[in-house]
Structure formats: structure tokens, C-alpha cells
Amino acid sequence: MPTNHSSGEHSGNPIQPDTESLKAGYEMSDVNVVNVIVFLGGLFGFVLIFYLFCFGMGKVINTALEKQDGPVDKWHQPGIFAGALNDGGKRENLASTTEMQQKELQAVTQQFPNPRLDTDDGNQATADLHAKEDLLLEHYSTAPGEAGIRIPIERAMELIVAKGLPVAAAVPSEHLAGDVTPKVQAPLTSGFARTGYELETIEAREQKMNYGKAEAAAHPEK
């Protein structure tokens, strides 16, 4: 039966390798440089076209979203929606979900009127309140519109112990049936109770100060 195969090609006879390559132990012919360059050029062109396509699609999507948001006014500030900047409502690049949620929460928190709910069980708010009380009770200060200077509470207690409290003249009065003389008892505590968060913060601050003092003592200036 006649075939179209040429003699020596796919006729059941194996192709003999090049004699020089067989003796050398490796391929002696050069790589087809033209085909390699064509492949790399095609790959680079495909990546470039894909990048331009994605960039254009992103621009189209952002433009559509900005039109959907509408113009910026007092009711629609640029910082309200996620991924927005404060320069005319331009959108940022895509951010992580957590970052976008934090930005939304900060924007809502800044616009929501007082009083606001605490996000940390009131630990930081309580610590700030006690810190302000410490500044007021432990240091000298003045108040606008009031005469005189506020002194620390420890100094005030020392002055009271030294001078004594003013005693009003006793006015004789008749006790009626059922009257009971009130008895004043000292409080069980000397002030407000510290929370666990404050105690940890104070302990960390003291450790940091002690570490700084130890470092200064170990490396004195020459």
C-alpha cells in the first residue's frame, strides 16, 4: 500500500544522533535565538496589554462609583465612605477589610455627638478621668474666674492638722424625744479604687522608669 512518507522519515527506522554531539556528550547545535526572542516579546506584550486593560477597568469602575456617590456637600463628606481621601472625594487604592472598617468607625465616631459609648469597656476613659483627678489633687493649679491658688490635697491636710478646723460656738438646744446624735465615721478608703487596667498601666510605667534609671546608673556619662 503506497504512503506519502518520504524514505527514512517515520518509516520505522530511528534517526541516528549527530556524530559530533554523540562524541562530545552534549548538544553541539546552538539555541534558536529568534524563537526565544519572539516568545519573550509576546509574553511581555501580553502582560502589558493585560495591565493596561486592568488599569482602564479600574478607572472606569472608580469613575462610576464617584458619580454614584454624588457631589461633596455638608451631608456627604469625602471622608465618610470607605477608601476616600480628604481632597475632593477621590478614592484610594483598595485596602484591607479591617483597615476600611477602622476608617469607617473613626469617621462615624468623629461625627456622632456626645456622649459616646466606650469601645474598651471604659478602661481608657476611666484612666483619663483618674489622671485628671491626680493632676488636680496632687499639684498646684489655678482656675479661671476664681481667686487664689489650689494647693495639693496632701499640703491641705498638713495645714489642717497644724492649724486645726474652725469650731463653731456650741448653741444649746433641747433634745426632743427620739432625737439621735449623728456620728461621723471615717471612710474605709482614702480615695477612688483603681481599676485593673490602671494598675497595669501604672506598673508598666514604673518598670519603664526603673529600667531607665538602671540604664543611667550602669552607663554614667563620662
Task: Report yes or no on 6 lying in a domain.
Answer: no
Helix axes 153-163, 123-138, angle to 10 degrees: 40
Count how many domains the chain has: 3
Are 63 and 81 members of one domain? Answer: no
| Spatial distance between the Cα atoms of 197 and 2, rounded to a whole number of angstroms | 96
Contact 197/123 with Cβ under 8 angstroms? Answer: yes
**Which structural domain range is residue 148 located in?**
120-164
The Cα 81–Cα 94 span in angstroms is: 13
Ordered per-residue pLDDT tens for the chain, 222 residues: 455 555 445 556 666 666 776 777 776 677 788 899 999 999 999 999 999 999 999 999 988 888 887 776 666 655 544 445 455 555 555 556 777 788 888 787 777 777 777 767 778 778 888 888 888 888 888 878 878 888 898 888 888 888 888 877 777 777 776 777 777 665 555 556 677 788 888 888 888 888 888 888 887 765
Sequence-separated (6 or more) residues with CB below 8 Å from residue 133: 192
Residue 107 sits in the same domain as residue 138:
no
Is residue 100 included in any domain, yes or no? Answer: yes
Q: How many CB atoms lie within 10 A of CB 80?
A: 16
For residue 87, tell me if it sits in a domain: yes
pLDDT attached to residue 25: 72
Q: Is residue 9 part of a domain?
A: no
Q: Choose the final residue of a domain: 39, 69, 99.
A: 69
Residue 85 near residue 78, CB atoms below 8 Å: yes
Does some domain include residue 5? no
Could you please report the per-residue DSSP string of 49-83? HHHHHHHHHHHHHHHHHHHHH----SSS-TTTSTT
Residue 98 shares a structural domain with residue 78: yes
